[in-house]
């Protein structure tokens, strides 16, 4: 698996504090699988999928899950543990590792692998079998206040996912009381102060085995049939 050579960190933005405002809060609740064992310098673990590898079919096949989760996601975990061995970061939880290396050119490889572990775990939880449909009332009200309608939000998420040149992510985030859609490239995460609610992976390995170059078909099917509104509401708090 070939990893990106550089993290796509937006210039002029203090990205080093993003976890304190957003990701750390979510990791402590929704993504409990990210926690590492209590013993010092124990390896980062591959979090289990929240469903069977065939549970998202036919939108995302078991074959795609096998490669995406079993090869790519696992590869980030294996690479990160190799990169951390013997370092002063080796006994830190994942979120603190990402925060410690964000924006540091000499730690790009660690950032890429650590952030991709976090992003992928968040992505798996952003999907669920028989998802889509109407969001819970509390979330729907927030969506309507920010976008006008659920359909308008889905259109904006699709536009962000399709407009991301190359590899990256489309995110629904909370910015204070308002919801927004943002996109990031490669392993990058939303900027400081934005709380991720759900994400769509638009790296080619997320869809190419099932959809080839038809990213739009993948994104639209995911939004209609798999998106996990309950996860977004839980993250909204």
Instruction: Give the range among 20-24, 64-68, 80-84, 166-170 with minimum mean pLDDT.
Output: 20-24
**pLDDT cut 90: percent of the chain above it:** 80
Residues 164 and 112 reside in one and the same domain: no
Is residue 33 classed exposed, middle or buried when 0-12, 13-18 and 19+ CB atoms within 10 A define those classes? middle
What CATH number is associated with residue 193? 3.55.40.20
- What does the alpha-carbon distance between residue 235 and residue 72 come to, in Å, rounded to a whole number? 25
At 69 the three-state DSSP class reads helix
**Same domain (yes/no): 110, 142:** no
Report whether pLDDT(17) > 70.
no
Considering the chain, what is the average pLDDT of its residues?
87
Contact between 162 and 189 under an 8 Å Cβ cutoff? The reply is: no
User: What pLDDT does 42 receive?
Assistant: 66
Q: What is the CA radius of gyration of the chain?
A: 17
- Which among 125, 160, 179 is the end of a domain? 125
Q: Are residues 119 and 141 in the same domain?
A: no
Residue with tokens 């078991």: 62
Residues 113 and 189 in one domain: no
Residues 115, 77 share a domain: yes
Query: Is 77 within the bounds of a domain?
Result: yes
Is residue 7 over pLDDT 50? no
Query: Does residue 52 lie in a domain region?
Result: no
Q: Are residues 83 and 167 in the same domain?
A: no
- pLDDT for the residue numbered 31: 54
Is residue 23 very low, low, confident or very high in pLDDT (cuts 50, 70, 90)?
A: low
Helix (H) or strand (E) holding 199: strand 195-201
Among 151, 118, 136, 138, residue whose Cα is nearest residue 223: 151
Cα–Cα dist 140/135, whole Å = 5
pLDDT over 70 at 32, yes or no: no
- In which band, very low, low, confident or very high, does the pLDDT at 2 lie, cut at 50, 70 and 90? very low
Q: Are residues 19 and 120 in the same domain?
A: yes
Assess whether pLDDT exceeds 70 at residue 25: no
Write out the residue range of the structural domain in which residue 165 sits.
Answer: 137-236
CA distance 232 to 131: 12
For residues 144 and 175, membership in a common domain is answered with: yes
Q: Name 169's bridge partners.
A: 184, 201
DSSP 22: I
Residue 188 within any structural domain of the chain:
yes
pLDDT of residue 41: 53
Q: Which residues are annotated as a binding site for Mn(2+)?
A: 68, 120, 201, 205
Query: What percent of the chain lies above the pLDDT cut of 70?
Result: 82
Mean pLDDT confidence for 73-81: 97
Same-domain pairing of 116 and 145: no
Q: Is residue 48 part of a domain?
A: no
Looking at residues 58-66, what average pLDDT do you find? 98
- Asked whether residue 42 is domain-assigned, the answer is no
Last residue of one domain, picked from the residues 125, 158, 175:
125
Place of tokens 């999928």: 49
The CATH number of the domain holding residue 28 is 1.10.287.990
4-13, 42-51, 163-172: which range is least confident on average?
A: 4-13
Q: What mean pLDDT is predicted for residues 47-64?
A: 97
State how far the Cα of 10 lies from the Cα of 12, in Å rounded to an integer: 7
Do 200 and 157 have their domain in common? Answer: yes
Mean pLDDT along residues 61-82: 97
Which residue ranges are tagged as binding site? 68, 120, 201, 205
In this prediction, residue 14 carries a pLDDT of 39
Task: Tell me what pLDDT residue 237 has.
Answer: 87
Specify whether 70 is located in the same domain as 19: yes
Let me know if residue 53 belongs to a domain: no
Last residue of a domain, one of 73, 94, 125: 125
Q: Is residue 9 part of a domain?
A: no
Mean pLDDT of 164-177: 97
Q: Kindly give the residue spans of alpha helices, DSSP state H, lying in the chain.
A: 18, 24-27, 62-67, 74-84, 94-101, 108-125, 137-147, 150-163, 208-211, 215-225, 229-236
Residue whose pair of structure tokens reads 């699988």 in the numeric block: 33
Shared-domain flag, residues 107 and 154:
no
Number of domains in the chain: 2
How far is residue 5's CA from residue 16's CA, in Å, rounded to a whole number? Answer: 19
For the cut 70, the answer to whether the pLDDT of residue 212 exceeds it is yes
């Amino acid at each position: 698996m070939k990893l990106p050579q550089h993290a796509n960190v937006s210039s002029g933005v203090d990205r080093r504090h993003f976890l304190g405002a957003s990701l750390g809060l979510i990791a402590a609740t929704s993504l409990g699988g990210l926690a590492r064992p209590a013993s010092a310098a124990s390896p980062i673990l591959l979090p289990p999928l929240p469903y069977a590898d065939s549970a998202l079919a036919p939108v995302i096949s078991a074959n795609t899950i096998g490669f995406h989760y079993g090869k790519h996601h696992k590869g980030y975990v294996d690479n990160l543990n190799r990169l951390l061995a013997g370092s002063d970061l080796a006994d830190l939880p994942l979120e603190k590792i990402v925060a410690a290396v964000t924006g540091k050119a000499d730690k790009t490889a660690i950032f890429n692998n650590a952030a991709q572990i976090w992003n992928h775990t968040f992505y798996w939880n952003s999907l669920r079998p028989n998802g889509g449909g109407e969001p819970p009332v509390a979330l729907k009200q927030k969506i309507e206040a920010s976008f006008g309608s659920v359909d308008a939000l889905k259109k904006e998420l699709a536009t962000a996912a399709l407009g991301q040149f190359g590899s990256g992510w489309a995110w629904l985030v909370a910015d204070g009381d308002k919801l927004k859609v943002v996109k990031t490239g490669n392993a990058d995460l939303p900027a400081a102060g934005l709380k991720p609610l759900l994400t769509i992976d638009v790296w080619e390995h997320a869809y190419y085995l099932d959809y080839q170059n038809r990213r739009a078909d993948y994104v639209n099917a995911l939004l209609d049939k798999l998106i996990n509104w309950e996860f977004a509401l839980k993250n909204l708090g």
